[in-house]
Amino acid sequence: MTYSGTYQMPRRSILIIGGGIAGLTSAIALGRQGNRIDVIERDPSWSVYGVGIIQQANVVRAAAQLGILDEYVSAGFPFSGVTMFAPDGSLIAEIPSPRLVGADLPANLGISRRALHKLLGQTAKSCGARIRLGATAQRIADEGSNVRVECSDGVVDHYDLVVGADGLYSQTRTTLFPDVPAPRFTGQAVWRYNLPRPPGLTTLHVYAGRIGVGLVPISDSLMYMYMVTVEPGNPRLSRAGLAGAMRSRLAGQPPAIAALAEHITVDDEVVYRPLECVFLPGDWYKGRVILIGDAAHATTPHLGQGAGMAIEDSVVLAEELTRHQDVSTAFTAFLARRRERCRFIVENSIAVGEYQMGLRENLDYAAITRQMFEITAQPL
C-alpha cells in the first residue's frame, strides 16, 4: 500500500509523541492520509548523532510505501547483501538480500543518521505535520471519545488518538503501563565511528565472534564501523579517552579491522551506547493511546532491524487506521500484524548477543541472518 490515494475514513486529529524515526515516519504515513498531525519532541535541538544506520530490504520497501523512495536512495549508499567473516578474517558466507521493490532498485541502504533525520523531518512537514520542539506530554487523559493532552509548553489540546513514539525510555509507556519493568541492560555496548570507505567495500561486512564488528557503507566516501563489546556493570565512560578505549577493544581483530582501528582518534566522534531492550508482553495500547517502535519493542543492533521495525510499525498503523473507523479495532489489528515479527527480531538479536558474551554455544549467526531476511521479506 502506498499513500498516494485519497483518505477514505473521517479525518482524525493525532498527536505523535517523539520526533525520531518512528515518530516522523508515522507523521508521514498518517499525514498523507489527510489527518491533522502534531508532533512533540523533547529535545529542543532535535539533534541526532553523526554516524550511520543500516536500512535493509524491508525498510527500502517501507520507504516506497511512504512515498519517499527516490529521496531515500539518493541520500544513502545502496548495497546488495551481507558478507560475513570469521573472527580470523576468513570468509564464512555471502548472504544476498532480496530486492523487494524491483530489480532496478537497491536491496539495502546504508545512510547517515543526519541525512535520514533531515529527509524524514522535511517530508513530515511537507505532509502537514506541525512539530513542536522542547515539549513533552505532562498529562494524558483518555476521555473515551478523545484524548486530552497537557504539554510542558503550555499547549492543551484534544486528539482522536495518541501515538507514543518516544523511544527506549518512553514516558508514554510508563504512563500507560507503570508496572512494566524498565529497559534491561543486556551486558553489552555498541561503539560506532565514521571512516573513509574503501572502494571495494560495497556490502555490509560482518565479523562474527565474541566481539562483533561490522563495516557499513553510507556514502561514496564514508562508511562506519560498529563494534559490540561485553561491558560488565554497564560502566559510565568519560568522553575523554573514548577513541583510545575503542581502539583497545579492537585488539586482536583481523588485519583489515586492525588497520582501520589506527584511524579512530577523535573522542568526540565516537558514539558509545549501552545495549538495552524492551518487549511489551501484553497490549501495546490502552484506550486511544498506542506505543510503536522502541517504546514497545526496543532491540539490540545485532540484526540491524531496530529502525526497520519502527518504520514498518508506522506503515502498518496507518493502514489499519485507514481500514477501521473504530480506533480500538485498528489498534488490535495492528498488534496482530506486528507482535510476532518484532518478537523474532528482539529475541534473536538478544540470542546473538548472548553468544558473543559466552552465554550460548554453537549459534549459527549466518543462519539467523538468512532467516531474518526471509521473514522480513514477507508482506507486512
Confidence at residue 6, expressed as pLDDT on a 0 to 100 scale: 39
Q: Full-prediction pTM beyond 0.85?
A: yes
Domains contained in the chain, CATH given:
13-77+108-183+276-357 (3.50.50.60)
Counting residues of the chain whose pLDDT is more than 70, the rounded percentage is: 97
Average pLDDT, the chain: 94
Buried b / exposed e over 214-246, threshold 16 CB at 10 Å, is bbbbbbeebbbbbbbbebeeeeeeeeeebbebb
Q: pLDDT tens digits for 130-167?
A: 999 999 999 999 999 999 999 999 999 999 999 999 99
Helix (H, G, I), strand (E, B) or coil at 154: coil
Q: pLDDT tens digits for 22-71?
A: 999 999 999 999 999 999 999 999 999 889 999 999 999 999 999 999 99
What is each CA distance from 290 to 41, 191, 203, 286, 364, in whole angstroms?
A: 17, 31, 36, 6, 35
Confidence at residue 9, expressed as pLDDT on a 0 to 100 scale: 52
**Secondary element (H or E) of residue 285:** strand 285-286
In this predicted structure, the answer to whether residue 5 has a pLDDT above a threshold of 50 is no
Measured CA to CA, the distance from residue 319 to residue 58 in angstroms comes to 16
358: left (phi over 0), alpha (psi -120 to 50) or beta: left
In this predicted structure, the answer to whether residue 2 has a pLDDT above a threshold of 80 is no
Counting residues of the chain whose pLDDT is more than 90, the rounded percentage is: 92
Confidence at residue 330, expressed as pLDDT on a 0 to 100 scale: 98
CB 66 within 8 A of CB 25: yes
Q: pLDDT tens digits for 254-276?
A: 999 999 999 999 999 999 999 99
